[in-house]
A and B are shown apart, each in its own frame.
Chain A
Amino acid sequence: MTTILIVGIVILLISVVFQVSKTSEMVTILKGAAQSRKDATKIIALMFLFFGPIFLIGCFWSAVHFKDAFLPESASVHGVWIDNVFNITLIVTGLVFVLTQVGLFLFVYLYREREGQKALYYPENSKLEMWWTIIPAIFMTVLVVTGLFYWFKITGPAPKEAMIIEVTGKQFNWIARYPGTDGKLGYKNFTLINDNNIIGMDTTDEASHDDIIPTDLHFVVGKPVKIIINSRDVMHNFDLPHFRVKLDAVPGIPTTFWFTPKYTTEQMREIVKNPKFNYELACAQICGQSHYAMKMAVKVETQEEFDKWIKGQSSYYQTIRPAAPAIAEANATNDEKTEEKK
């Protein structure tokens, strides 16, 4: 009933506006197009004059108002660099934004058609045009140089001491794999994937035996971590918003991103003043029905806490071993080989 009422009101309003507009067109015919344009000009010019400042103040006010909604201070070392480039870009573009919008709306008001307003025949000015080509070019150079300086630092090779974690995306969750005590990830092969071996770990490779597949991600504060990103079906995107990390997970083409977490979860809780705060891993590339729910909990902790946590985890090989007889025939040969080795 309310729907019908709302629709009715909307239709009524629209028809009222239409009727009024139709009448105004009659007036135009009576007064002549030039006169009615003259009458409208004053109002429209004033509206532009008011719109300009309201718009600019609105932009500024809303940015301040929503400040707390933005991502908090970066939780990674490189994220601070990204935020720096963001801020430099904001200053440069903010300046241009204000100058051009003010110019636009002010000129629209000042140079409206009215008695005695003569247009100036002013088709070009090479000097002026040269300057407003060179000045943007200089600003662009500054932005490119700063941006790329950090870009190469961010995308450069990971430090040798970096902890390695493999993360595989699938519809619709993430699978993390830690290399275990040997520090090496075992081989895997997508043809070995099944319900029990969710990333297709090649159990004939002994390096895989101590690999751990936990249910959430743990990083050590201050310790560089290199993520090897994979996908087992469609494209996903490894998105850690608080750490300013984003990289596609492409089936068949592993990608890597390294970074250094700066604050533990506890420290971040104090920074954002929210005792319930948690880091989250999201998927940022459209990947299907439950794309919006493809998340994983992330925890940053001290080395001791991390060591304690990882000790409590059993290797994936151990968890899938007891189920070995139940594994599909496809894996039978692999299992035999492992048996022989033993």
Chain B
Amino acid sequence: MSSTATHHVSEEAIYHEAEWHEHHHEEHNGHDHKDTFFSTYIFSQDHKMIAKQFLFTGIIWAVIGGLMSALFRIQLGYPDEHFGFLHSLLGNFAPDGKIDPQYYLALVTMHGTIMVFFVLTGGLSGTFSNFLIPLQIGARDMASGFLNMLSYWIFVISSIVMFSSYFVQSGPASAGWTVYPPLSALPEAIKGSGTGQSLWLISIALFIASALLGGLNYVATIINLRTKGMSMTRLPLTIWSFLLTAILGILSFPVLLSAALLLIFDRSLGTSFYLNEIYINGHAMVEQTGGSSILYQHLFWFLGHPEVYIVILPAMGLVSEVLSVSSRKPIFGYKAMIGSMLAIGGLSFIVWAHHMFVSGMNPFVGSIFVVLTLIIAVPSAVKVFNWIATIWRGSIRFTPASMFAIGFVSLFISGGLTGLFLGNSTVDIELTKTYFVVAHFHIVMGVAAFFGLFAGVYHWFPKMYGRYMNNTLGYIHFWVTFIGSYLIFWPMHYQGMAGLPRWFYTHNSYETFNHMGDLSKFISTMAIIVFIMQVFFIINFFYSMYKGRKVKEMNPWEATTLEWTTPIEPMHGNWPGAIPTVYRWPYDYSKENGEGFIPQTEPMKPGEQVLHH
């Protein structure tokens, strides 16, 4: 069924292409009534515009999500102080200028949800899959421009629903971003599990619909719409990473949807999938027994773990591309890079229970997941070695993009290695649910994925807007963020080794943890500084959009891939003439005497060494 559908789509695209010339002429002659303000900027079906829409929405969400973290870090760093502006900003959620304990949990929950789903999935994957897939595989647009537009607007509706939960009286969802029941199922247990949690579930259900529409489109496009000569082994690694990300999403998001649906049933229809033997608010819930909250954890992490790779794979793809272009060298071990991504993608489905070593799950089951989890470290290590080998004996050009890519590799090493502590169930007993975990995942999938995102934005900004971003601001942004992120998250390992649990409103109530105050204050100060310094990116982005230095050459980075064969500001349809044909792999940098680069569109010379077909 689906194969016939995609086949139909590709036929339509071919038909579309035949019409292209004529259509384009019409546009120039002003006879075309199709392109109104609405169809160009709002309900656009042009993948490039949709990518920018995703990027804008992602930036807005990142500011909101970052602000939340700055707010709750104020509480953690300065637990005894009162700040008037908190009251002005949050009203009753911060009486006397001190954040209410329940609202603190709401902030933590929303920060996680926003960053993981709305910024690093919607913002990152949505932006670059949309922008780069057609441009780099040589297609006029996505397989279905309409579904693509739908995917974005469902994302917007989902965003609005999520944002509206800030304004309900009982506050937004507060049960942690994983929203484990029974806490998330019982408004009596925490206020945020009332209307706020309902809105959270509705929003996530919509988000899943958006992610699925997007993902199916990406896969269909990559499989069917590659230009002549663009075999799978001539695809840039960006495209491979987007393909695997989309497949991961398609296979895992429906499971989250089922988890969310069952939770909705438990909350509103009186079922008990996750509830058992609960006494709350002065009464025993005798009607709802026999469920298991561990079931929810299995369902959640069956998405939750692949989700980590949904976040990091696109970043890996972007970094691979940027590193190769700026080192003026082919990516080292192209096939090993694809192989390791396939391995990571496959394994990501069978490691989920390493989040649950201390959930009461059978220890034997846990042991299987230890083995599988540590296996996934091998392809990850291969990727790191290959990146380092890529810059080895290169001729590295420092652009903000390449610096963020280098930073990504450093962060991915640091955060990846701490995964070996947590993935080993024995050590996990000590470290799980402490700040060590917070440090680990923030470095490896939070900051690292952000670095991939930044590398991508700085690198492809000229293609998006026909202007450059300001380099000096980019350099400052990089160093502040790079050094700052380590200063924020590195000390958290130490807090974790001191046993400090996550989700604590304050750690002053324990003798065991109250010596952590100074370190927390330091982390909070750094977090707030790094958050404020992101203003350099925001200013740079919006200023350069209108006033940046103009791009004068088609291929400013001297890259080999197809997006740089389009006009400086490509129109809907990307290439004014015929779509280019591809003759070689995308990494022929410095092939001739250590200099120059050979675009993918250049035919092989007689006798030239062929690497990939």
Tell me the A residues contacting B by CB distance below 8 Å.
Answer: 3, 10, 14, 17-18, 20-22, 24-25, 28-29, 33, 36-37, 40-41, 44-45, 47-48, 51, 55, 58-59, 62-63, 66, 69-71, 79, 81-83, 85-86, 89-90, 92-93, 96-97, 100-101, 103-105, 107-108, 111-114, 117-125, 128-129, 132-133, 136-137, 140, 143-144, 147-148, 150-152, 154-155, 170-171, 190-191, 193, 195, 200, 229, 232-235, 237, 239, 241-242, 244-248, 250-253, 255, 276-278, 280, 282-293, 295
A45 to B377, CA, bound (A): 30
Q: Which residues of B contact A191 (CB under 8 A)?
A: 284, 286
Known: A47-B479, A112-B398, A148-B367. A3 touches B512 (CB 8 A): no
A147–B430 CB distance below 8 A: no
Q: Is the CB of B366 within 8 A of A193?
A: no
Stretch in contact with the other chain, from B39-47, B204-212, B499-507, B571-579? B499-507
Q: Does B546 contact A (CB under 8 A)?
A: no
Collect the chain B residues with CB atoms within 8 Å of residue A290's CB: 101
**Are A17 and B536 in contact (CB-based, < 8 A)?**
yes
Contact between chains at A111 and B284 (CB < 8 Å): no
> With an 8 A cutoff between CB atoms, is B471 at the interface?
yes
**Chain A contacts of B182 at CB under 8 A?**
233-235, 251
B561 interfacial by beta-carbon distance below 8 Å: no
Q: What are the residues of chain B within 8 A of A10 when measuring CB–CB?
A: 532
Chain B's closest residue to A286 (CB) is B503
B240 at the interface (CB under 8 A from A): no
Contact B426 A81 (CB under 8 A): yes
In the complex, what residues of A have CB within 8 A of residue B504's CB? 291-292
Bound form: Cα–Cα A308–B268 in Å: 51
- Other than the known A121-B589, A253-B293, A255-B360, what 11 A-B pairs have Cβ atoms closer than 8 Å? A62-B491, A81-B426, A107-B392, A108-B396, A119-B595, A234-B278, A253-B276, A286-B105, A291-B503, A291-B505, A292-B507
Q: Is the CB of A233 within 8 A of B388?
A: no
- Residue on B with the closest CB to A276? B511
Query: B54-89 CB contact bits vs A (8 Å, 1 = yes)?
Result: 000000000000000000000000000000110000
Interface of A is mostly: helix
A253 interface neighbour in B102, B175, B294, B482, Cβ under 8 Å: B294
A21 to B505, CA, bound (A): 40
Residues of B within 8 A of A237 (CB): 358, 433, 501
Q: Which residue of B lies closest to A111 (CB)?
A: B394
Q: What chain B residues lie within 8 Å of A45 (beta carbons)?
A: 396, 398
Q: Closest CB of chain B to A148's CB: distance in Å?
A: 5
**Taking beta carbons and an 8 Å cutoff, which residues of B are in contact with A?**
84-85, 101-102, 105, 175-176, 180, 182-183, 186, 189-190, 275-280, 282, 284, 286, 289-294, 327-336, 358-360, 363, 366-367, 370-371, 374-375, 377-378, 381-382, 384-386, 388-389, 391-399, 403, 406, 409-410, 413-414, 417-418, 420-421, 424-427, 429-430, 432-434, 470-473, 475-476, 479, 482-483, 486, 490-491, 494, 497-499, 501-507, 509-512, 515-516, 519, 532, 535-536, 539-540, 543, 548-549, 556, 587, 589-591, 593-595, 611
Closest B residue, CB atoms, query A133: B382
With A14-B535, A40-B398, A250-B293: A123-B505 Cβ-Cβ less than 8 Å: no
B101 contacts A292, CB within 8 Å? Answer: yes
Contact A93 B417 (CB under 8 A): yes
A252 adjacent to B334 (CB under 8 Å): no
Nearest CB of A to B352, in Å: 16
A25 to B399, CA, bound (A): 14
How distant is A333 from chain B, measured CB to nearest CB, in Å? 15
Establish whether residues A86 and B595, one from each chain, have CB atoms under 8 Å apart when the complex forms: no
Offer 21 A-B interface pairs, CB within 8 angstroms, sorted by A: A14-B535, A20-B472, A21-B472, A25-B470, A47-B479, A86-B430, A89-B427, A97-B414, A100-B385, A104-B391, A111-B327, A119-B329, A120-B594, A123-B330, A124-B334, A148-B371, A200-B279, A250-B292, A252-B275, A280-B512, A288-B183
- Identify which of A128, A200, A286 gathers the most chain B CB atoms within 10 Å of its CB: A286
**CB distance A129 to B336 under 8 Å?**
yes
Q: Tell me which of A125, A248, A292 contacts B505 (CB under 8 A).
A: A292
- Residues in B with CB closer than 8 Å to A171 are 189, 280
Interface centre among B277, B391, B486, B532 (most CB of A within 10 A): B277
Q: Shortest Cβ distance from B451 into chain A, in angstroms?
A: 13
Let me know if A280 and B286 touch, CB within 8 A. no
What CA separation (Å) do A137 and B393 show in the bound complex? 27
The answer to whether A248 and B510 touch across the interface, beta carbons within 8 angstroms, is: no
Taking a contact as CB atoms under 8 Å apart, the answer to whether B395 and A282 are in contact is no
Contacts of A150 in B (CB 8 A): 426
Given A104-B406, A241-B499: A250 touches B516 (CB 8 Å cut-off): no
**How close is B58's CB to chain A, nearest CB, in angstroms?**
22
Alpha-carbon gap, A314 to B135, bound state (A): 77
- B284 CB contacts on chain A under 8 angstroms: 190-191, 193, 200
Set A24, A108, A239: member contacting B472, Cβ < 8 A? A24
Question: In the complex, what's the smallest C-beta–C-beta distance from A25 to chain B, in angstroms?
Answer: 5
- B426, A147: Cβ atoms closer than 8 Å: yes
Whether the pair B421, A122 counts as a contact (CB closer than 8 A) is: no
Given known A-B contacts A118-B590, A147-B370, A191-B284, A66 and B378 have beta carbons under 8 A apart: no
> Which A residues are in CB contact (< 8 Å) with B417?
93, 96-97
Contacts of A124 in B (CB 8 A): 332-336, 611
